[in-house]
Structure 1
Amino acid sequence: MTTIKQVAVIGAGVMGAAIAAHIANSGTPVLLLDIVPEGAKNRNAVAEGAVAKMLKTDPAPFMSKRVTKLITCGNIEDDLDKIAKCDWVIEAVIERLDIKQDLYRKIDAVRAKGSVVSSNTSTIPLATLIDGMDESFAQDFIITHFFNPPRYMRLLELVGSGVTRDGVIDAVADFADRKLGKTCVTCHDEPGFIANRLGVYWIQAAMVEAMDRKLTVEEADSVIGRPFGIPKTGVFGLMDLVGLDLMPHVQSSMAGLLDKSDPFHAIYRESKLVSKLIADGYTGRKGKGGFYRLNREGGQKVKESVDLQTGEFAKSEKARLGSVRAAGKDPRKMMEASDKGGEYGRAVMGKTLAYAAFIAEAAANSIVDVDDAMKLGYAWKTGPFELIDAIGVDALISMLEEDGVEVPALLKKAAGKSFYKVKDGDLYYLGFDGEYAKVTRPDGVILLEDIKRKSERVAGNRAASLWDIGDGVACLEFHTKMNALDADVLGAIKTSIRTVKKQFKAMVIYNEASNFSAGANLGLALFAANIAAWPEIENLVETGQETYKALKYSPFPVVGAPSGLALGGGCEVLLHCDAVQAHGETYIGLVEPGVGLIPAWGGCKEMIRRWAENPKFVKGPMAPSAKAFEIISVATVAKSAMEAKENLFFRETDGITMNRNRLLADAKERALSMVDGYEAPEEFTYRLPGEAARVAFEMAVDGFHRLGKATDYDRVVAGELANVLAGGDTDVTEELSEDDILELEREGFMRLVRNEGTMARVEHMLLTGKPLRN
């Protein structure tokens, strides 16, 4: 099997450049080539310009600016021969067959024998791309369809042909899995492959039905959202996000490629409204807006939406459909509702789920692949066949028959059964042959959902559970809303420490929610403050400090395994672990100043210690505290695991796992590697600068205040933070213990929590999800 050590990307447009960026994120050298602009003095201007632009793009294509050094920019005229050193060449040029094939012939003349060549196309069939090409080229050629943005979308669709050489797909899949963090789904050479084939149908059906049934865009998005486990953007919000100008091209392309008997043709029609919006510059979020826009007239920001009948914009009004509220997260209840919301949901999702069954065998190897494609390519929480099971196979068949929609053969095969079932703790899926087959995981993948299906938890309460994941390792899972931390979570951590000490060798802290932890439960804090329950708040702070300290000094290794948000108290959990094995997409920070507080579960003391112990950092009593103040005072959030290392939220020795599905297995392996000869860390003695540092920190904040970059209340919060990080009333001649720093954290926290300015920030955050600048 080909080992991929160096990659070339030809085409530095939005997708090609972003693919190159993500390959660099993996630590792999990548060559980025594009055309030479006419009359250009800099012949590499296109590729270099793309890299420069990505450094300013948000969300960032790069996990760290440091990885840009792995990209070599060039041009097709001067540098094409350099691909001879590359194991994989990715073509991402304009969707024109003649241009692509001309490029392929040039690539074939200089590429290394056996190197893989792929196209990122989503509209041209593979058979067409290789038609007329040399047999040796065709054997090494596949389609690798990345989803935009490549760094964040976990789906990679792979398409081979009847002549693809053995090992080509496997080589790319292995690299994409382990290095790029992709879930690779092998598709058949069908129009749109899997995700876009079904996704484009779903969007078209939703748009047509909303217009015909005279729903508002808000009503449509509320129906095609939470009840079906689909992001709150729904359909119209999704079109704005993707770009309205892209949709007509994709839909017309699909209509041209699909056989006339395909159900897509029954719902396809060009939209005059969409054409008008595009013509007027309403191409979505990248333009002036789309189905939704922000009207900034008069210095205001008013969210507006377009009337699907008239094309006129008016103030956006929240949808208030009783059926949506009643359905909650129940798709069947939504589809059985008798109001216009229910009728719309049934019409759109009934047809969409039927279409999933219609295309599955032609497009995919299994229904599992179809579900994975929609979950990872379109962010559905549950795939179409999982949704059918939630609705009920027989119930859906009855709805389709009543509505005059043809019931696909695959759906008929499942009548009286379900598409998935659990037997002896193992998950099975219905095959195209009508028989059940076990769902298997790739080597090196452990999912907690599989373990939970086969076992009982070892310990726990309503907020967290301890699981046996084998080989003497336990896994502590938080499962509150947003994995917010409260007294019950702290209690579960304490119980887990006692249990692991007696029964296990090591512990991993991990969960499979979207976010590791959003921090302490602010709602409970606000409630306690409103009734002046100050002793209860202080007790919770002290309990958290004691719990995290016990975690840090437990007699066994503890490995934190975060993904998604790890904020505030969630960050502090990880700061007290022996090691961290983080998903690449971990967003971590001590954000307490944003809600008018300071870290008080040991975050301040741990950040001082990390900067003091960092061998690459300048020494001296002031420097570690100053660096911690710089990071914490502005509520810095690292936007990747790489950035987390740069801020010392993670150590240089901590690991990064690119594939979310491999995180638990990697964390378990890390924990086991630490068992032999394990010794808990020694307590740290602090020598902090005291008054001089505190004054210096406050003066820095005053300077930002004069420039308008810090608010009045920022100065109050920063003052308390400065006091802790300076060591209070101390100087460099005195030694402070960890408990001394914890006491300073606790006292500063309690002074702030009694302040009306802090309570205003907390309440505003809970109501709006945004910080208050008071």
Structure 2
Amino acid sequence: MSAAGQEGAHPPAIRRAAVIGAGVMGAGIAAQIANAGTPVLLLDIVPGAAARAVQTMLKADPAPFMHRAAAKRVQPGDLDADFAKLAECDWIVEAIVERPDLKRALYGRLEGVRKAGSIVSSNTSTIPLRDLTAGLPDRFAADFLITHFFNPPRYMRLLELVAGPATRPDAVAAIRDFADRALGKTVVECRDTPGFIANRIGTLWLQSAINHAVDLRLTIEEADAVVGRPMGIPKTGVFGLIDLVGLDLMPHVANSLLATLPEGDAYRALHREHGTITGLIAAGRTGRKSGKGGFYTRAKDAEGNSLKRAIDLWTGEDRPSAKPSLESLDLGSRNLRALAEHPDRGGRYARAVLLDTLAYAASLVPEIADDVTAVDAAMRLGYAWKYGPFELIDRLGPGWLAAALRAADRPVPPLLELAGERPFYRTEAGTLQFLGLDGDYHDVVRPEGVLLLADVKRRSKPLARNGSASLWDIGDGVACLEFHTKMNAMDPDILALIGKAVGMGRKGAFRALVIHNEGSHFSAGANLGLALFAANIAAWGEIEGLVEGGQKAYRALREAPFPVVGAPSGMALGGGCEVLLHCDAVQAHAESYIGLVEVGVGLIPGWGGCTTMLRRWSAAPGLPKGPMPPLSKVFEMISTAQVAKSAFEAREMLLLREGDGITMNRDRLLADAKARALALVEGYEAPKPGTLRVAGPTGQAALRLAVDGFAQLGKATPHDVVVCGYLAETLTGGARGDFIDETPEDAILKLERQSFMALVRHPATLARVEHMLETGRPLRN
């Protein structure tokens, strides 16, 4: 198991850290270091600013801290009063204003207090390292590097690392290892060039997208639609992304780049100021953070309904937002080249932005990075692109892009000429390879301790497969069950393959099972579309069969004669959460959002979620004796659809147990889970069905009374009362529940099925399901 597999684990070189500068970035970096279990000193030149920053982060959403307890690891202080405390730190991160003179002055002060061998890094986004270390002692230069985090530091996986010619290799290794294993970052090593990788390419991409939208007279909705999904860009597109990061940040980044970029750089030719953007900034409309909006705003109509408005790029006036209707968009969702070849404004826009961006990226290797894999990783993780620039070139065809550049009378970068018609990536003998600068293909080498399911799938065929799930051999007698439906929603085919996998394991096909996938989310729960369809045709038997089939499949996992380890990342909700509750152990990515959310669609957990949570809370230490304390905990959690906002919170809610592991780096999750599964093999015995002490009718009455009180206060809707009534009946053991005698778990499972079936027939539940499918939001009916 990697060092990051356990809470608080980190390489011994970094035992205590410090961050200087308690702005948004500095405070966020300190929070992530604290999330990793490492004590961190947070200092700011403004007295009290660091302490205020910690309090602000505790209230922020999305939260910089993975758990409130992590905030206790941040020691706020004042730069002048507490400067001597920096002598205790192994790593000092500077995150002050982007001025080389102020940074160098701070470094000079640091030299007088920091201990020998301590590492100093700057979070600069654009200033070259050579400018930062100019005139400083050799000892400082040997311990100095750039660690460029992306905002917000907890959630953005990229860390750009820049070392100078004098930087100690062991200092680089220590920060790389700590950032990888403890902070969960993908570390991309960059050359000491302006903007490094992601901002160098990303700034030109944004400028190109704005320029061509104006020149081709596209609305911002049209531009965002063209640049968004067809190119694998987040649905924010370009203008939505600028709103997210802040319009006022753009001039600062642009000016910093223009001050350091070489003459003749393509960005210099593209850079252009736009009056509409200047006017928005002057009016304080700098995006979402301003509260006034930016390119997009939210307003309310006379009835209080939220309306989206958008800026007109030419007049600067607000107008109601309009859905784009470009013919080229229909093609773009299926074929990027077809989009770029389409003659309408959307196609011409896509072609122009792609030519600018991809030609620029190709022209910068090897200036900014050793190979194309570093560039692609930086753009995927720093700008949340689905495909890096060279992966996009492969989707278009390198030969096509070169021909398009020639047709536009533009130079073809040497790297693109080198590729010719060959792709930048290929799979050879089951191994992913990239085209190197020498014209040969080279294997993509993963860091030690990284196991990716995508690599397993390239070199092997599944042990079993259907349309919704696959079973893979990941080595050493361990199999991996992968879901691959939309949002990895649970359906009958997944349940069937769970049963088949258990059967194969019983026959000795493998000795341990990991449940894991590399989708954005582990599982969003049961397939509500199937349930709604069955309900609309009154196929109640089909729904009941699905509920019973889920209980049987999950029980088979729990009672299998081999260990089962869940390895989630992203959302694990409803039925996806219940899968994890039936595993022998869970190795969760730190960014796992786990919860039983069925009440949001008018249902209760029907695949053992109620039963398992009752069992866990009944055995929880520290609770008063008797059936009511654990019952109250479980009822509150399920009735309010609580979701853990990190794996650490899930542990507090007993959705994870104390012995379950947490991995900070998602790329290490499968390897950690596999190691955990192997550690359980020797002497493994499956758990036996147990009994529970339930609260019975008295407890049920108490819960119903509490819900009625919430309804009278307007905190529970009429259908909330109905759903919570069934939940209360299930958790208390129904009419036959008895707090004196033990109740078999099977009896609670039966009540889960009965309550689920009663609710799924209710018109108000069907209305909730339909509303969720249409809008993605719960209906309060």
Fold match, TM over 0.5?
Answer: yes
Q: Which residue of 2 aligns with 1:267?
A: 270
Counterpart in the other structure of 1:42: none
Letter in 2 for 1:443: E
Is the aligned partner of 1:395 residue 2:400?
yes
Please name the residue that 2:294 is paired with. Answer: 290
d(CA) in 2 for partners of 1:95, 1:568: 45
1:324 is aligned to 2:329: yes
1:327-381: per-residue Cα shift (whole Å, max 9, x none)?
Answer: 2142212111121111100000121011110112111121000000000000011
Is 1:99 matched up with 2:106? no
- The aligned residue for residue 671 of structure 2 is 665
Please tell me whether the aligned partners of residues 92 and 121 of structure 1 are also in contact (alpha carbons under 8 angstroms): yes
DSSP 3-state at the match of 2:734: coil
Choose which of 161, 167, 182 in structure 2 pairs with 1:158: 161
Match of 1:375 in 2: 380
| 1:463 matched to 2:507 | no
Alignment correspondent of 1:15 = 25
Q: Matched residue of 2:631: which SS?
A: helix
| C-alpha distance after superposition, 1:144-184 (max 9, x if no partner) | 00000000000000001111112111110000000000000
What residue in structure 2 maps to residue 69 of structure 1? 72
Q: In the alignment, does 2:40 pair up with 1:30? A: yes
Q: Partner amino acid for 1:570? A: G
Corresponding residue of 2:7: none
User: 1:144 aligned to 2:147?
Assistant: yes
Judge conservation of contact 1:228–1:330 (CA < 8 Å) in 2. no
Conserved 8 A contact 1:226-1:329: no
Match of 1:411 among 416, 424, 436: 416
Provide the TM-score with structure 1 as the length reference. 0.98
What does residue 621 of structure 1 align with?
627
- Which deviates the most, 297-306 or 464-473? 297-306
Q: What SS does structure 2 have at the residue aligned with 1:302?
A: strand
1:453 aligns with 2:458: yes
Indicate the SS of the match to 2:450: coil
- Give CA deviations for 1:623-656 in whole Å, capped at 9, x if unaligned: 1111100100000000100000011110011000
Counterpart in 2 of 1:687?
Answer: 693
Q: Is the 8 A contact 1:460 1:495 kept in 2?
A: no
Which of 414, 419, 426 is the aligned partner of 2:431? Answer: 426
Contact in 2 for aligned 1:142/1:161 (Cα 8 Å)? yes
**1:696 CA drift (Å):** 1.2
Q: Does 1:366 align with 2:371?
A: yes
Quick one: percent identity of the two aligned structures? Answer: 59
2:118 is aligned to 115
Specify the alignment match of 2:755 in structure 1. 748
**Distance apart, 1:56 and its partner CA:** 0.5
**Could you report, residue by residue, the CA deviation over 1:385-436 in whole angstroms, capped at 9, with x for unpaired residues?**
0111111111111111112232111111111211111111111111122222
Q: Does 2:133 correspond to 1:130?
A: yes
Q: How do 1:200-211 and structure 2 match up within 5 A?
A: 200-211=203-214
Equivalent pair of 2:33/2:40 in contact (CA under 8 Å): yes
Report the equivalent of 1:540: 546
1:184 paired with 2:187, answer: yes
SS of residue paired to 2:297: strand
Deviation per CA, 1:49-95: give whole Å up to 9, x if none: 00000000000000000111111111111211111111100001111
In 2, Cα distance between the equivalents of 1:110 and 1:608?
A: 55
Contact 1:351 1:405 (8 Å CA) reproduced = no
Q: Deviations over 1:198-243 (max 9, x none)?
A: 0000000000000000000010001001111111111011000010
The amino acid across from 2:753 in the alignment is R
Alpha-carbon RMSD across the aligned residues, in angstroms, is 1.1
1:578 corresponding residue in structure 2: 584
| 1:517 corresponds to | 523
1: CA distance, partners of 2:642 / 2:58 = 19
Q: Does 1:229 align with 2:219?
A: no
Unaligned runs of 5+ in 1: 38-44
Q: What is the one-letter code of the residue matched to 1:303?
A: K
Which letter maps to 2:296? Y
**Shift of residue 675 of structure 1?**
0.3
Asked whether the 8 Å contact 2:127–2:256 carries over to 1, the reply is: no
Query: In 2, are the aligned partners of 1:9 and 1:16 still within 8 Å (CA)?
Result: yes
Secondary structure of 1:167 counterpart: helix
Alignment partner, residue 732 of structure 1: 739
Residue matched to 1:240 = 243
CA distance in 2, matches of 1:444, 1:569: 30
More displaced stretch, 613-622 vs 225-234: 613-622
Aligned position for 1:439? 444
Q: Quote the Cα distance in structure 2 between the aligned partners of 1:297 and 1:85.
A: 57
Q: Is the 8 A contact 1:229 1:329 kept in 2?
A: no
What amino acid does structure 2 have at the position aligned with 1:670? R
Counterpart-to-counterpart distance in 2, 1:461 and 1:644: 31
- Name the CA distance, whole Å, in 2 between partners of 1:579 and 1:284: 43
Q: Distance in 1 between matches of 2:192 and 2:112?
A: 26
Give 1:41's aligned residue: none
Q: Which amino acid aligns with 1:21?
A: A
Q: SS of 1:77's equivalent?
A: coil
Distance 1:331 1:618, change over 3 A: farther
For 1:32 and 1:362, locate their aligned partners in 2 and report how far apart those are by CA, in whole Å: 35
> Which shifted more, 706-715 or 572-581?
706-715
Matches within 5 A, 1:586-605: 586-605=592-611
Structure 2 gaps of 5+ residues are 1-10
The one-letter amino acid of 1:656's match is I
Rounded Cα–Cα distance in structure 1 between residues aligned with 2:680 and 2:50 = 44
1:34 aligned partner, one-letter code: D
2:555–2:582 Cα contact (<8 Å) kept: yes
Aligned to 1:335: 340
Greater relative CO (CA pairs within 8 A, separation 6+): 2
Helix, strand or coil: the match of 1:303?
A: strand
| Alpha-carbon distance between aligned partners in 2 of 1:551 and 1:754, rounded to the nearest angstrom | 29
Q: Kindly tell me: are residues 651 and 2 of structure 1, through their superposed partners in 2, closer, same or farther at Cα, counting changes over 3 Å?
A: closer
Letter in 2 for 1:531: I
* Equivalent of 1:198 in 184, 198, 201: 201
Q: Residue type of the partner of 1:757?
A: A
Task: Look up the match of 1:249.
Answer: 252
Q: Which residue of 1 aligns with 2:764?
A: 757
* Residue 494 (structure 1) shift: 0.5
Report the residue type matching 1:59 in the other structure: P
Letter of the 1:6 counterpart: R
Which runs of structure 2 are paired with 1:503-514 in the superposition (5 Å)? 503-514=509-520
Deviation of the 1:326 alpha carbon: 2.1
Question: Do 1:228 and 1:329's aligned partners in 2 also have CA atoms closer than 8 Å?
Answer: no
Calculate the TM-score normalised by the size of structure 2: 0.97
Per-residue deviation, 1:581? 0.1
1:770 matched to which residue of 2?
777
Hey, what's the Cα distance between the residues in 1 that align with 2:400 and 2:705?
A: 68
Counterpart of 1:280 (choices 283, 301, 304) is 283
Q: Which runs of 4+ in 1 moved over 6 A?
A: none
TM-superposed CA distance for 1:300, in Å, is: 3.8
Task: From 595, 606, 616, give the equivalent of 2:612.
Answer: 606
Number of residue pairs the alignment of both structures matches: 767
After TM superposition, the structure 1 stretch with the greater mean CA deviation from structure 2, 179-188 or 333-342, is 333-342
Alpha-carbon deviation of 1:297?
5.5
Greater displacement, 460-469 / 290-299: 290-299
* Structure 1 residues 19-40: Cα deviation after superposition (integer angstroms, max 9, x where no partner): 0001000001111111243xxx
Shift of 1:618: 3.0
